[in-house]
Structure 1
């Protein structure tokens, strides 16, 4: 009998102790970050189009570009739906077209490749350091990770490296560090979408080439129009 009563008291104590350790989800308090920042890293892929091309110049293949970087989100209102975001990043873009660049990097020569001439490759490509600044609107909240956004921005980029390639199967001409390329490019863009993936359009406000670059005695004034997808992280 004593053994039975001892076991009963032990089980009763164990049950009470177990009940004291039980808790429900209602007792938990999830801390909400009211000072959150949005979309501070980005990567993107885009299709590059050339506008204001010299007469006779056309793009005959798809030209792609890639970008990535960091933006410091700085909310402007209490709800944190409006913000500005300066940042920096890198971009690589190539432009496939039929304007050949020959000669040398000190004295490049430009000409339209005749339609009767076969060529395997003709492009120029650039690696740039980018410094964007955005004005942002979004309908996010501290607990919402999917939301609508419209971001408009201005971007300045500095040329880090460039290369042009002309290859007709017989002769291959590669020119690096072309003196006629503008070191600084600037343009405007807008990004809009929902959740992580968004559409972005960029329009270059100045030419790839300095005033010294000419074709048929006319200045080459080509700038960029890019359409792509941008993916925001954190």
Structure 2
């Protein structure tokens, strides 16, 4: 009986010590998942979007605290994004030449531009986190560099349909990112710095010289 009592006390002390343990080297917000509404800025006159244009992105960001409280630091990551834009921009291709025209929204059944990108986010991170709290405010500001892995365009009207692969998009694109919120819910903004299209395309279609991406939505962090 005495041995049982000693064993009970030992187990209690171990459990109490584990419950009392505080990790002062904690890291936060290293896996992200985002869902955004996509639009474009600096668009030509009569440009219109239709249906819902969206993007989904996810990845890993290495959290690098810079102070003892670990509530201020940097983040550098790697992720993947899938994006679509539904609009009245109709693309056509003749050999290696691409052109675009704006049409009425009711003249087609499908008109969608899709892209898949590798993204490298870099963030300056501030938050109210502590080693024992999982609910805190955060504001992350940074720059995201993306590389276009693939792009495709699909068009369909009542008479015919076609698709175009590898549109003349700039392969490397950068932009400003801002994420802010509390606990689970965080607003996310991305504003592109670079023109979407290559110079050769812009020379033939000058109205699209400064077309840029603008995404607004929600981002979720775990771990």
Name the TM-score, length of structure 2 as normaliser: 0.91
Aligned to 2:44: 54
Q: Deviations over 1:25-53 (max 9, x none)?
A: 57721321111111111111110011111
Supply the distance in 1 between the matched residues of 2:202 and 2:112 (Cα, whole angstroms): 17
Corresponding residue number in structure 2 for 1:165: 154
Report runs of 4+ in structure 1 exceeding 4 Å deviation. 24-27, 214-217
Q: Output the CA distance in 1 between the equivalents of 2:46 and 2:172.
A: 27
1:217–1:176 distance in 2 versus 1, CA, 3 Å: closer
- Name the CA shift for 1:53/1:215 in 2 (closer, same or farther; >3 Å): farther
Residue 149 to residue 156, structure 1, CA distance change in 2 (3 Å): same
* Matching residue within 66, 88, 97 for 1:107: 97
Aligned match of 1:206: 194
Mapped to 2, the partners of 1:90 and 1:144 lie a distance apart of 29
Segments of 5+ residues of structure 2 without an aligned counterpart are: none
Question: In 1, Cα distance between the equivalents of 2:84 and 2:96?
Answer: 21
Q: Does 1:182 align with 2:170?
A: yes
CA deviations 1:103-132 (Å, max 9, x no partner) are 2572112101135x6200111110001011
Number of equivalences: 218
Tell me which residue corresponds to 1:193: 181
Contact residue 40 and residue 233 of structure 1 kept, 8 A: yes
In the alignment, does 2:64 pair up with 1:78?
Answer: no
Q: Which has the higher helix share?
A: 2
1:22 equivalenced with 2:12 (yes/no): no
- Alignment correspondent of 2:24: 34
TM-score (norm 1): 0.87
In structure 2, the residue matched to 1:89 is 79
- The superposition leaves residues 172-229 of structure 1 with CA deviations (integer Å, 9 ceiling, x where unpaired) of 1200012x21111110011011113311011111111123224985241211111111
- Greater gyration radius: 1
C-alpha distance in 2 between matches for 1:105 and 1:67: 33
